[in-house]
Amino acid sequence: LTVGVVAETAPGERRVALVPKLAARLIGRGLRVVVEPGAGRKAGLPDELFTAVGAELGAESSCGDAADSRRSDIVLTVTPPSEEDIARLPAGTVLIGFLDPLGDPARVEALERAGITALAVESIPRVSRAQAMDALSSQANVSGYRAALLAAQLSPRFFPMLTTAAGTVPPATVLVLGAGVAGLQALATAKRLGARATGYDVRPEVAEQVRSVGAQWLDLGIEAIGDGGYARELTDDERAQQQRRLTEAIAGFDVVITTALVPGRTAPTLVTAEAVRGMRPASVVVDLAGATGGNCELTEPGENVDVGGVTISSPLNLPAGMPLHASELYARNLVELIELLVDSEGRFAIDPADEIVAGACVAGLPEEVA
Ligand code: NAD
């Protein structure tokens, strides 16, 4: 079997779906790895590092793309394929990557029509057996880390407390809304930078995790746990109450980082326009939910805006800004999934009834590949 690695074409994307040391692991299992020339360059992984472990480079075709890497049995991608990308995939290909099945169902239909078996990493069930394949978590970790660094950089203040001959500077106060994977990493990073960090979530069981990274827990008395232990959408009353209480709390912080998402839905508004007006000038909001509407009412996705001296930043792809480690973690997730699909002789051995395969498969029938 051949595993192809495409060079990402989405604007600003710098990650690559496979890194040399994990290409070596696949080759060790009897798979052929074909990499589109330049696929890893922006992640700091030139072609030579792939060929050194036995991967092959796809042949450049006349239109500039590498036909071979897209004509593999398994094709790995980071970002969802464009219409043209889909047109270049032969029927029967197993495509693995972020495919945004909830955000863009039309793309999933196009993959289905093209006869592609599409495994969306977002749809892998979050069972403990699939933990090593959890690309949402691995990339959220990077996002949380980068969000704290971005906030520190946008803030006109020091994060740590400083006592110097020129005076004493108090530590910055950082509030993180949503204490999932990204939120906890943002808290831990802000704390390591010396800020006074506080976390908030509607799932009370994360209070302990927030404290374990050295942050304080903000309790607003609203619990909203839905299916599978994930946050559910708040009722109108709960939302109004939450916004009121948060507006009061937010006024006391120099930095607010928001990471609250409800899978498949528009992001909840946690920072209202009124809350922004209540913040001191020179405060900063970093909103990680911009792609699904933002957690801040005044967020402009992908932009930095200034509202009365408060900077509101909505980065859309923080993992792309740290492509080497983001790619390494992502590639590890994908290789774990591939190992579930392939036997020790390097042949397809897909069990369509496996809950991980069945959950991840958003188009095409795995039976046909098997
Ligand atoms: P996410 O990105 O979907 O959401 C981020 C956080 O926002 C969550 O903690 C959520 O509770 C919170 N949130 C949602 N709506 C909110 C609101 N209105 N107000 C305040 N907070 C709100 O979540 P995630 O980081 O991908 O994962 C969430 C949790 O799932 C993790 O913390 C972990 O406990 C669990 N998880 C389990 C596994 C596993 O068992 N394999 C893997 C990954 C994550």
As a whole number of angstroms, the distance between CA 159 and CA 168 comes to 13
- DSSP code of 129? G
Take atom 20 of ligand 1 and give the residue whose Cα is closest.
Answer: 201
Of 129, 181, 209, best ligand 1 pocket probe by most atoms within 8 Å of the beta carbon: 181
Percent of the chain predicted with pLDDT > 70: 96
Residue 202's pLDDT is what? 97
What are the distances in angstroms from CA 126 to CA 21, 75, 141, 359? 26, 23, 16, 10
146-169 per-position pLDDT tens digit: 999 999 999 999 999 999 999 999
Burial letters 166-186, b for 16+ CB under 10 A, else e: eeeeebbbbbbbbbbbbbbbb
Q: Is the pLDDT of residue 321 over 50?
A: yes
Q: Ligand 1 centre from 175 Cα, in Å?
A: 17
Q: What's the pLDDT tens digit per position in 236-264?
A: 999 999 999 999 999 999 999 999 987 77
202 lines ligand 1 (CB under 6 A): yes
Compute, in angstroms, the gap from residue 368 CA to the centroid of ligand 1.
34
User: Considering the chain, what is the average pLDDT of its residues?
Assistant: 95
What does the alpha-carbon distance between residue 296 and residue 290 come to, in Å, rounded to a whole number?
Answer: 8
- Rounded Cα distance, 151 and 154, in Å: 5
- Tell me, using a 6 A CB cutoff, whether residue 8 lines ligand 1: no
Say what the pLDDT of residue 95 is: 98
Which carries the bigger pLDDT value, residue 66 or residue 188?
188
Helix (H, G, I), strand (E, B) or coil at 222: coil
Strand partners, 216: 198
Q: Exposed, middle or buried: residue 240 (CB in 10 Å: 0-12, 13-18, 19+)?
A: exposed
Do residues 139 and 319 lie in contact, with contact meaning Cβ atoms separated by under 8 Å? yes
Cβ pair 2, 90 in contact under 8 A = no
Question: How many Å apart are CA 334 and CA 329, to the nearest integer?
Answer: 9
Ligand 1 atom 11: the closest Cα is on which residue? 231
Q: How far is CA 350 from CA 33, 72, 111, 343, in A?
A: 19, 17, 19, 9
Whose CA is closest to atom 33 on ligand 1? 180
Nearest CA to ligand 1 atom 32: 180
Provide DSSP, 61-88: PTTSSBHHHHSSSEEE-SSPP-HHHHHT
**Ligand 1: residue whose CA is nearest its atom 18:** 268
How far is the centre of ligand 1, averaged over its atoms, from the C-alpha of 27 (Å)?
A: 35
From 133, 201, 235, 244, the mutation candidate for ligand 1 (largest count of ligand atoms within 8 A of CB) is 201
Please identify which residue in the block is written with the tokens 């995939």: 89
Note the pLDDT of residue 107.
96
**pLDDT confidence tier of residue 51, bands split at 50, 70 and 90:** very high
Distance, C-alpha 210 to centroid of its chain = 20
Ligand 1 contact, 136 CB (< 6 A): yes
CA distances from 183 to 16, 177, 225, 290 (A): 24, 7, 17, 15
In short, whether 290's Cβ falls inside 6 Å of ligand 1 is no
Question: Which residue puts its alpha carbon closest to atom 38 of ligand 1?
Answer: 126
Q: Per DSSP, which regions of 91-213 are E strands?
A: 94-97, 117-120, 162-164, 167-169, 173-177, 196-200
Share of the chain above pLDDT 90, in %: 91
Tell me which residues are annotated as active site: 126, 131, 134, 137, 230
Quote the ligand 1 centre to 232 CA distance (angstroms): 10
Lateral strand order in the sheet of 361-363 = 56-57, 32-35, 2-5, 74-76, 94-97, 117-120, 361-363
Residue whose CA is closest, atom 35 of ligand 1?
Answer: 180
Q: What is the pLDDT of residue 265?
A: 85
Asked if residue 5 lies in contact with residue 36, where contact means CB atoms within 8 angstroms, the answer is yes
Sheet holding 216-217, edge to edge: 216-217, 196-200, 173-177, 255-258, 284-287, 310-313, 304-307
234 CA closest ligand 1 atom index: 18
Ligand 1 atom closest to Cα of residue 182: 25
Tell me, in angstroms, the distance from the centre of ligand 1 to residue 71's CA. 37
Q: Are strands 167-169 and 173-177 parallel, antiparallel or unpaired?
A: unpaired
Ligand 1 atom closest to residue 126's alpha carbon, by position in its atom list: 41
Give the integer Cα–Cα distance in Å for 370 and 368.
5
Per-residue pLDDT, 64:
41
Q: Please write the tens of the pLDDT for every residue from 298-311.
A: 999 999 999 999 99
Question: What is the spatial distance between Cα 366 and Cα 358, in angstroms, rounded to a whole number?
Answer: 8
